[in-house]
Amino acid sequence: MNDDQFDALVDDATHAVNDLIPDTVLDGLRDSERSDLLFQINDALTPILREVIDRTDSGSDNPTRSSTIAALISELLETHAQKCDEGGDCANDRPRHVISEVYGTSANIDSLAICEIEMGTQIYLVLDDHSAFRIAVEAVSP
């Protein structure tokens, strides 16, 4: 399946899911909120459909996808954060998730998300010090 076909599939699936939402819910949303909802549905469906398409695509020589590596990195970050949250005898003893002694900063992970893009996968990381990061994961070999 080429990129245009995949994009059309995701768009069709996004609109199909949107059509399942009752009008009473959609009527309560502003135009920008409706648009945001479509983007969120699209972002949620993209990695799911990409994995299904990739798994059934017999022409794939490389079984490890960028989405798999991004999921691995995300799981490592989540596990690290969980271990930090469980450490120490009380909340004040627990280490922060991200610490830089060189720059004198520390923060906790507020949110972590994965999004498929044309060139690979991106991980979005938001910290409680209001900084945000986008980590790109791209396959460099076929």
Q: What is the pLDDT of residues 83-102, one digit of tens each?
A: 988 887 787 888 898 888 88
**Closest among 65, 1, 10, 67 to 40, alpha carbons compared:** 10
Predicted local distance difference test score (pLDDT) of residue 80 = 92
- Specify whether the CB–CB gap between 76 and 112 falls below 8 A: no
Predicted local distance difference test score (pLDDT) of residue 77 = 92
66 and 22 inside one domain? no
Q: What's the domain range around 2?
A: 1-60
28 and 91 inside one domain? no
Of all residues in the chain, the percent with pLDDT exceeding 70 is 92
Q: What is the pLDDT of residues 48-88, one digit of tens each?
A: 888 887 766 655 555 677 888 888 999 999 999 999 888 87
68 and 112 inside one domain? yes
81 and 134 inside one domain? yes
Predicted local distance difference test score (pLDDT) of residue 31 = 85
